[in-house]
Structure 1
């Protein structure tokens, strides 16, 4: 694999990772964002399989969170507050009374420091004590590596000097058909028997079984057919915007989801060490300007992460990083072609 860097607009840097077969992944230091992923179909035709902005200015704006690292807390925190060791911490709300993806000035708009380490691109960020209300100075690292079998490996790490919630993910939107179509004809399989039901503010209210519901994706299902079904949970989010609880043991790398486009033959297999995977079908993309003006359901996010609002659940201690500890996460996306 080779890695090249080039200046981009607004003093940003654009890195290109290329494997032995000519597959290319483009990443910028703004938000440590995955900008483009050029992958072939079954006939060898190459297309960009992720949504994104046409220039660095788009990533600085934070619109759409396209391909960006969400943090310090990915997803939502109810009431934009939590308690750590008996002390309440209040964060900067940016979705009604709640916090979403670390706030408007979250990791997705920050300039990360990039360096090439052999076959890896490493991006680092220092989040100061008090940023968006979060306690402690947090050091974050993310490594991107593209293997010759088409696997993009994301390795996350973080350390802190004070107890703080940490939950990181990449908010990349996939569309295996490229820019020419929406995701309705693509098929999704999620290896999960349960998901988290949500309230009207998209805050989890409990674990629910997928059995007998539109959320049962244990066998591949057309996203268009799923979105067309009637269900109170689908109505709240205008589609899927729910955290699934993948089967298997958290902490171990396991396959959790497969996205497939029958027309092109492109397939994307997601594996992670994380406890949850948020499936978001781009329900609120309508009118968002990126490389073109996007519409609802033009992309699907497969966000590996802790549970939304887990800082306010009985399992909160699992997502509190303390001095001397290291936050670690590995997620892989493997792009292949199915004949």
Structure 2
């Protein structure tokens, strides 16, 4: 894998490689083995990606190593530092620290995944530690997940849940919802996604109290909520994507998923 201009490749001893775009601080590729040792790029681009900002964001590289990268952004009274570290256990840790002169909001690029490396994600199995969810279109009142298609407290396939009535909203191809997590501000595991075909499993950790689930037929994205930066104070946030292999039989998948 040859890095593109402006990209840096992180590596670990397991043969995992993560390509980071040092221009916009996004992940460009993530090569990881399946249960048979076959490598594939498990990153994908959502079909309905957000429109780019009017003014381009350009990050500066402060330091780069075999498994680490530090980026810095300074503009409009906002200073942001990102530190990436790829661990030997397959965890990509991203630490963010931001300081602003005036109150600001920071929304970092979140990667989209297809753990099979291609094809669909209907059989990807999700477990999510959330008791409430937020419908799309900027809703501010959370609803209970109990008894709904959004109850992923027990693992369930994405495709089966998308078949439930009322899940898809106008123009949507899949999930596009926020979830209220059970965390207390410390780094905690919020979600797991497993692909039974490849055996790959993604574990998502965050310090934020909410995450956003977005998906279509071929990919999914787990993103932390927008970071609020108070005036004159530092705001910190950590997210970890840990990619490894999972024994799907121990993932507590229900044998039958009924519909509402």
- TM-score when normalising by structure 2: 0.87
Root-mean-square deviation (Å): 2.2
- Does the residue aligned with 1:216 lie in a helix, a strand or coil? coil
CA distance in 1, matches of 2:130, 2:54: 33
Partner residue of 1:165 out of 104, 107, 114: 104
The CA distance in 2 between the partners of 1:271 and 1:47, in whole Å, is: 23
What does 1:154-233 correspond to in 2, within 5 Å?
154-162=94-102, 164-179=103-118, 181-198=119-136, 202-231=137-166, 233=167
Give the length in aligned residue pairs. Answer: 244
Matching residue of 2:175: 240
Runs ≥4 in structure 1, deviation > 6 angstroms? none
Residue 104 of structure 1 and its aligned partner are, at CA, apart by 2.4
Q: Which residue of 2 aligns with 1:321?
A: 230
TM-score calculated relative to the size of structure 1: 0.67
SS of residue in 1 equivalent to 2:95: strand
- Of 98, 112, 129 in structure 1, the residue corresponding to residue 59 of structure 2 is 112
Unaligned 5+ segments in structure 1 are 1-5, 54-62, 66-99, 129-136, 283-296, 308-318
Where is the helix percentage greater, Structure 1 or Structure 2? 1
Separation in structure 2 between the aligned mates of residue 7 and residue 277 of structure 1, nearest angstrom: 30
Q: Provide the rounded CA distance (Å) in 1 between the counterparts of 2:25 and 2:86.
A: 15
Distance in 2 (CA, whole Å) between partners of 1:234 and 1:191 is 21
SS in 1 for 2:146: coil
* Separation (CA, whole Å) in 2 of partners of 1:222 and 1:271: 20
Q: Is the 8 A contact 1:169 1:305 kept in 2?
A: no
Is residue 298 from structure 1 mapped to residue 218 from structure 2 by the alignment?
yes
CA contact (8 A) 2:130 2:179 kept: yes
Q: 1:117 Cα shift?
A: 4.9
Contact 1:267 1:338 in 2 (8 A): yes
Q: Given the superposition, is the C-alpha separation of residues 235 and 155 from structure 1 closer, same or farther in structure 2, using an over 3 Å criterion? A: same
